[in-house]
Amino acid sequence: MALNTIELNRQRQPLDHLEDVWLFGYGSLIYKVDFPFLERRPASIEGWVRRFWQGSHDHRGTPEAPGRVATLIEQPGAICAGMAYRVSPDTFGHLDHREKNGYLRFFTALHFANGEQAEGLVYVAGPDNAAFLGPAPLADMARQIACSHGPSGANADYLLQLCDGLRNLQADDDHVFALSAMVRALV
């Protein structure tokens, strides 16, 4: 079953002493911006790759039939493109609830296209969380994604909207693009 990380995130990183915080989005935070922000800029982080290895019991699947959503996996030398948002600390009340299914937040260096850098928070669901599904053959993941639905809608919509968001950012992601081509063929 899913691990609710809301309180753990609040205890690990209190943010009330900050005026604003950069947030790095690499999955649904690229295309589903249901929170206020002060600024938005394309960004990347180093040493991580995006993978559909996290189970979604609460948004894109159910406890009986979890969907698959993005998390980050450490990979030296890799660069993961996404979107950075400068937000007020109180925004994390909503974000911690949205990312509660096994995601922990931590600070990392964000790199912007103009060469600037900033520290920002990122949510990662690691292999030690209860909803982690891990790697599987792409065809198996595509079938699972094509069939999964949850309270937030079809799992396929999550993947295809992320794919479109990455294309709009002109970001390459072989894993997401290959998976989305397979899912498009199935749905």
From the list 61, 143, 140, 51, the residue with the least C-alpha distance to 101 is 61
Active site residue 19: no
Q: Which of 7, 39, 74, 99 is catalytic?
A: 99
Count CA atoms closer than 13 A to 124's CA, side-chain side. Answer: 19
**Cross-strand bridge partners of residue 48:** 74
Per DSSP, which regions of 88-161 are E strands? 104-112, 117-124, 149-150, 153-154
Which residues are paired to 84 by β-bridges? 24, 41
CB 43 within 8 A of CB 23: no
> What SS3 state is found at 6?
helix
Instruction: Determine the angle formed by the axes of helices 174-186 and 138-147, rounding to 10 degrees.
Output: 50
Determine contact, residues 50/26, Cβ cutoff 8 Å.
yes
- Kindly compute the dihedral angle of the four CA atoms of residues 148, 154, 102, 107, in this order, to the nearest 10 degrees: 140
Two structure tokens written together for 25: 């989005």
Which of the residues are catalytic? 99
